Amino acid sequence: MTGKRGYVVTVDGPSAAGKGTLARRLATHFGFRFLDTGALYRGVGLSVLRQGLDPADETAAAAAARALQPEILSDPALRTEETSAAASKVAAIPAVRAAILNWQRDFARDAARSSGGAVLDGRDIGTVVCPDADAKLFITASAEARAGRRVKELQARGETAIYARVLQDMQERDARDQGRSISPTKPATDALIIDTSDLTADQVFERALAFIATKMKA
């Protein structure tokens, strides 16, 4: 399992489907390193916003991606809805994705070698970033279920959240993520698809573990 190359698990899916929770739990379970690749795009989006620029501006977004520093990935502002929306916009820009691609691949390679494995979650990890990953998961849920979860998250942080607005924003984000020409959000052909709409986090975790176990034995 942990030979020279190490073991790579990818967890893709739309916003608020539960992929981040699952990916972190899997990384802890196996003792692998974890990367929330969405935080990279959030970091780019946040950088553009803080410059007072438009996240849809290709030149500004590409420059922010090339200048991205690891320190911003721990900034609490990454989790705001404004940053999330900005991340979706910059992620649709080919130059931004190109700048972030090597960062992600380097992480997967180095983590797999140094700690025996890596778990990366995002939108295109199993299809583009790590197409040769050992185990691929695609975590999804209905837009309604995901919007409900996001509202609870925001309210728990003391932010005002209106369900209808969150649902609309999520549907618009889904359309951007799934419709972009470069690295659209979609499951890899060899990924296990788990719909979490009516599942608990424990149920999702157990299904993922069972699937990964079959891949480790292969």
Contact 73, 23 (CB under 8 A): no
58-87 pLDDT tens trace? 999 999 999 998 888 899 999 888 998 899
- Band the pLDDT of 218: cuts 50, 70, 90: low
Look at residue 177 in the predicted model and tell me its pLDDT: 82
Q: How far apart are CA 106 and CA 33, in angstroms?
A: 13
Which 8-state DSSP code applies to residue 134? Answer: S
Predicted TM-score (pTM) of this structure: 0.85
- Report, at the CATH architecture level, how domain 7-208 is classified: 3-Layer(aba) Sandwich (3.40)
Look at residue 145 in the predicted model and tell me its pLDDT: 94
100-138 pLDDT tens trace? 998 899 999 999 888 899 999 998 999 999 999 999 999
Q: How far apart are CA 43 and CA 51, in angstroms?
A: 12
Contact 55, 45 (CB under 8 A): yes
> 3-state DSSP helix/strand/coil percent for the chain, to nearest 5?
60, 10, 30
Residue 188 CB neighbour total at 10 angstroms: 20
3-state secondary structure 30-70: HCCEEEEHHHHHHHHHHHHHHCCCCCCCHHHHHHHHHCCCH
